[in-house]
Chains A and B, each alone.
Chain A
Amino acid sequence: MNHFKRVFALLVCICLMAAALAGCGGSSSTTTASDPSNSSSTSAPAETTGIDYPTKDIQGSIMWSAGGVCDMSARAIGAVAQDALGSNIIFTNRAGSGGAVSTTYVNAQPADGYELLFGAENPQIAKVMGTAEIDYDDFTPIDLYCTTYAAVSVSKDSPYNTLEELMDAILANPGKIVMATTGAGGLPEVVAAMFADVVGTDPILVPFDGENECMTAIMGGNADYTITTLGSAAAFYQSGDIKLLSMIAESPVEGYEDIPIVVDSYADFSKYVPWGPFYGVFVKNGTDQAIVDKLTDIFSAAAEDSDFQQLLRDNGCFPMNVSGDEAVEYVKSYRSITSWLLYNSGATQNSPEDFGIEKP
Chain B
Amino acid sequence: MEIFGHMLQALIDPQLVIYLAVGVFLGIYIGAVPGLSVTMAASLLISFTYSWDVLPSMAAMVGIYIGGVYGGSRSAILLNIPGAPAAVATALDGYPLAKKGLAGQAIGITVVQSVLGGLIGTIILAVGAPALAKVALTFAPRDYFLLAIMGLLLIGSLGSDSPARGVMSAAIGIFIGFIGMDSQTGHMRFVIGPSGSLFRTYMTLGVSYVVVMIGLFGMSEALMQLRDLSVKPVKQKVDKIVPGWKNILKYLPLSIRTSLMGTFIGALPGTGGDIAALMAYDHAKRTTKDPETPFGEGALEGLVACESANNAAIGGACIPMLTLGIPGDAVTAIMLGAMYIHGLNPGPLLMKNSADVFWYIIGAMFVGNIFLLIFGFTGIKLFTKIVEVPKHILMPIIIILSVVGAFSINNNLMDVYWMLAFGVLGYIMKLYHLPVAPTILGIILVDLIELNFRRAAVTVGNSITALLTDLVSHPISLVLLVVIIGMSLSSAGVFQKIRAKFPSGAQAKGSKA
B396–A183 contact, CB under 8 A? no
A5 to B421, CA, bound (A): 25
A207–B400 contact, CB under 8 A? no
**Which B residues are CB-close (under 8 A) to A100?**
201, 204-205
B325–A212 contact, CB under 8 A? yes
| Least CB distance, A67 to chain B, in whole angstroms | 3
Q: Which of B15-23, B298-306, B340-348, B424-432 contacts A (4 or more CB under 8 A)?
A: B340-348
Best-surrounded residue of B182, B352, B393, B396 (most CB of chain A within 10 A): B396
A241–B348 contact, CB under 8 A? yes
A6 to B416, CA, bound (A): 24
**Which A residues are CB-close (under 8 A) to B138?**
220-221
Interface residues of B in 379-399 (CB under 8 A from A): 390-393, 395-397, 399
A5–B229 contact, CB under 8 A? yes
A146 to B182, CA, bound (A): 29
A13 to B396, CA, bound (A): 5
| Least CB distance, A80 to chain B, in whole angstroms | 12
**Which A residues are CB-close (under 8 A) to B347?**
235-236, 238-239
Is A184 an interface residue when CB atoms closer than 8 A count as contact?
A: yes
A329 to B357, CA, bound (A): 43
Is B508 an interface residue when CB atoms closer than 8 A count as contact?
A: no
Is A40 an interface residue when CB atoms closer than 8 A count as contact?
A: no
Q: Which B residue sits closest to A2, measured CB to CB?
A: B230
Is B326 an interface residue when CB atoms closer than 8 A count as contact?
A: yes
Interface residues of A in 26-52 (CB under 8 A from B): none
**Which A residues are CB-close (under 8 A) to B327?**
67, 212
From the candidates A91, A216, A347, name the one contacting B269 in the complex (CB within 8 A).
Answer: A216
B204–A65 contact, CB under 8 A? no
A72–B349 contact, CB under 8 A? no
B392–A66 contact, CB under 8 A? no
Is B324 an interface residue when CB atoms closer than 8 A count as contact?
A: yes
B186–A131 contact, CB under 8 A? yes
B50–A311 contact, CB under 8 A? no
Interface residues of A in 63-106 (CB under 8 A from B): 65-68, 71-72, 75-76, 79, 91-97, 100-101, 104-105
Best-surrounded residue of B141, B183, B327, B390 (most CB of chain A within 10 A): B183
Is A172 an interface residue when CB atoms closer than 8 A count as contact?
A: no
Is A16 an interface residue when CB atoms closer than 8 A count as contact?
A: yes
Q: Which B residue sits closest to A236, measured CB to CB?
A: B348
**Which B residues are CB-close (under 8 A) to A71?**
337
B337–A104 contact, CB under 8 A? no
B451-462 Cβ-contact flags toward A at 8 Å (1 or 0): 100110011010
Is A130 an interface residue when CB atoms closer than 8 A count as contact?
A: yes
Is B139 an interface residue when CB atoms closer than 8 A count as contact?
A: yes
From the candidates B185, B270, B333, B395, name the one contacting A9 in the complex (CB within 8 A).
Answer: B395
Q: Which A residue sits closest to B395, measured CB to CB?
A: A9
B183–A239 contact, CB under 8 A? no
Q: Which A residue sits closest to B222, measured CB to CB?
A: A13
Is B412 an interface residue when CB atoms closer than 8 A count as contact?
A: yes
Is B137 an interface residue when CB atoms closer than 8 A count as contact?
A: yes
Q: Which B residue sits closest to A94, measured CB to CB?
A: B410
A132 to B199, CA, bound (A): 12
From the candidates B195, B198, B270, B325, name the one contacting A235 in the complex (CB within 8 A).
Answer: B325
| Least CB distance, A134 to chain B, in whole angstroms | 8
Given A9-B395, A16-B396, A17-B403: A239 and B349 interface contact (C-beta under 8 Å): yes
| Least CB distance, A217 to chain B, in whole angstroms | 8
Best-surrounded residue of B201, B205, B230, B345 (most CB of chain A within 10 A): B201
From the candidates A17, A220, A311, name the one contacting B139 in the complex (CB within 8 A).
Answer: A220
Is B378 an interface residue when CB atoms closer than 8 A count as contact?
A: no
Q: Which B residue sits closest to A79, measured CB to CB?
A: B50
Is B496 an interface residue when CB atoms closer than 8 A count as contact?
A: no
| Least CB distance, B476 to chain A, in whole angstroms | 11
Nearest 9 interchain pairs by C-beta = A235-B347, A67-B337, A239-B348, A184-B186, A9-B392, A220-B137, A96-B205, A207-B184, A12-B396
Beyond the given A206-B458, A315-B340, please list 20 additional residue pairs across the A-B interface where CB-CB is below 8 A: A2-B230, A12-B396, A17-B403, A66-B43, A75-B50, A75-B341, A94-B411, A96-B201, A101-B412, A131-B186, A206-B141, A207-B183, A213-B326, A216-B324, A222-B459, A238-B348, A239-B349, A314-B343, A347-B186, A348-B186
Residue pairs across A and B with Cβ atoms less than 8 A apart, 11 shown, are A9-B395, A21-B403, A25-B413, A75-B47, A97-B204, A207-B184, A213-B269, A216-B324, A220-B140, A236-B348, A239-B349
